Amino acid sequence: MNDQHAIGIISTGSYLPANVVDNEEVARRAGVTAQWIERKTGIRQRRRAASFEATSDLAAAAARCALAQAGLDPERISLILVATSTPDHPQPATASIVQSLIGARNAAAFDVNAVCSGFVFALTAAERMLRAEPEDSYALVIGADVYSRILDHSDSKTAILFGDGAGAVVLGRVPTGQGTLSSSLLTRGDQHGLISVPAGGSRRPASAATLAEGGHFFRMDGRGVRGFVQENLPQAVRALLAKAGTAAGEVHHFVPHQANGVMLGEVWPGLGLDAATCHLTLERLGNTGAASIPITLDLVHRQGAFAEDELLLVSGFGGGMSVGSVLLRWAATTHARPSAAERQDAPLQLVLAG
């Protein structure tokens, strides 16, 4: 690999809606208690988008934050990928709306839907596409979801988990040896029924019947999802590290999809990342879908917790069913060092120490 082909994260950004929703409010509608929610998920709070905010609004705000940290004009961006499973509309792509909102007139823009794995899938696609672009090209990769709009708030299996938010990273050229070192994407389509929104597409178009039966709400087989993650995430992490020729003990930081704190606590010992810190933001933000990894990256980065050249492993898992992981050597500390004010303002995150 040479300098021309080393691609990495050079800045981060995020946006969290102002409305904080605690477990008491969620519990009342779901028919459970606040204590039960925390015991089952590790979540205490989540954010909820305002009535006037759509996914593109959250995504654009996170993108502006990442661009500001990098000191880049939006017209310098050549590629925008938005990972979301809660788009503004079935069409056009939410990414095209984001392009317009931020004034990135020279960028190609499209969406990626791998549900909660979407950011990792989009990051991998953007990194590979950017290698073919001129040396001074940049890409915006955004994860954004507004799950509050597709939840059945009386369903205790799903309503307790999700929050709204957006996170973004800017990708660009970095020195040799930094940036993305290896990536791995996996889909198990035979298990796609574990997570779904059954109606509203070409198979079951919207109708009075689908509305009456709640077919447009998010549905999840929680036990099946847990089993999928417990089986596939450790295998995917081991395979990626072997592919990269990296020992598990060399990894400094692990940033997973913020699905469920209890589930992550159960799977964590089997990953073999004993020397790494597992960064969790879900206690205060819940599961923000494709946004959870980039939001966590941004909050941890702005606290100054990532050092230059440290190894980071990010892993997403979600509907499809899908698993995606990326191993990278951190470069954004030099490219865009967070200010002391940013570190002070960033919410504290929980960690699982190795």
Active site residues: 116, 257, 287
Whole-angstrom distance, CA of residue 226 vs CA of residue 206: 30
- Cα of 347 vs its chain's centroid, Å: 17
* 244 closest CA partner among 333, 179, 169, 323: 179
Q: Confirm if 280 and 351 have CB atoms less than 8 A apart.
A: yes
Rounded (5°) CA angle 59-292-270: 160
Whole-angstrom distance, CA of residue 169 vs CA of residue 118: 14
* 352 closest CA partner among 287, 290, 296, 291: 296
- The partner residues of 184 in beta bridges, in order of sequence, read 325
Beta-carbon count within 10 A of 341 CB = 9
Beta-carbon count within 10 A of 221 CB = 15
C-alpha distances in Å from residue 342, one per residue of 139, 144, 268, 325: 23, 21, 29, 28
